[in-house]
Amino acid sequence: MARPFTGKRLPVLAWEDARRESRLFALLCQRPLFGLGRVVTRKAWLWQYEEPCYWLITRVRVDYTAENLDHGKAWGYLTFRGKTYNEVKEIDKVMYHDWRMVPKHEEECFKKFTPVSVEIIQYVPYPPLLRAMILAQRQKEGKLDTQEPLIDLEKIIIFTNDYFKNQKKAKGTPV
């Protein structure tokens, strides 16, 4: 099996995939209305992500001067890792050889996805040295609370230039 334009041989392990997969426009030109409303995905996405990743084709502009109608531009709605984007985008990487058309009878099953609840972590412990410094500072000040020092990840602190100047003035100089 050889590459279509260069004529160089493909590796033997790639033969099976090369028979089943093709460029996006090689798939779309075989369908009525160039595959409008159909779902296409990439093999790389199927391997990398558990969540569904696919394009829903909404618009196709084919280059009719190209041989076999395998060039052009396509637009659609992207669903990446289960999240559907609401704006129509141009499909990129259309010349990659790993596009697959999802069969009509499998589209609903392929699109079905229940998101896993993500646990949002708000507090994390300080690193050991910084934790020891905070506990030593508390002990020096006479605060004997046994509460573990934690970093608040959602706390937004905005430092201005005045804050640092005031800190420097309040601290004084070591000499």
**Separation of alpha carbons 36 and 87, rounded Å:** 16
Residue 4 is predicted with a pLDDT of 66
Cβ partners under 8 Å of residue 92, min gap 6: none
Spell out the domain ranges in the chain: 12-111, 123-170
- pTM for the full predicted model: 0.60
pLDDT digits (tens, 9 = 90+) for 108-149: 988 888 777 778 888 999 999 999 999 999 889 888 777 888
Residue 171: which pLDDT band, with cuts at 50, 70 and 90? low
How far apart, in Å, are the Cα atoms of 21 and each of 43, 44, 88, 109? 8, 11, 25, 21
Residue 132 is predicted with a pLDDT of 92
Residue 28 is predicted with a pLDDT of 82
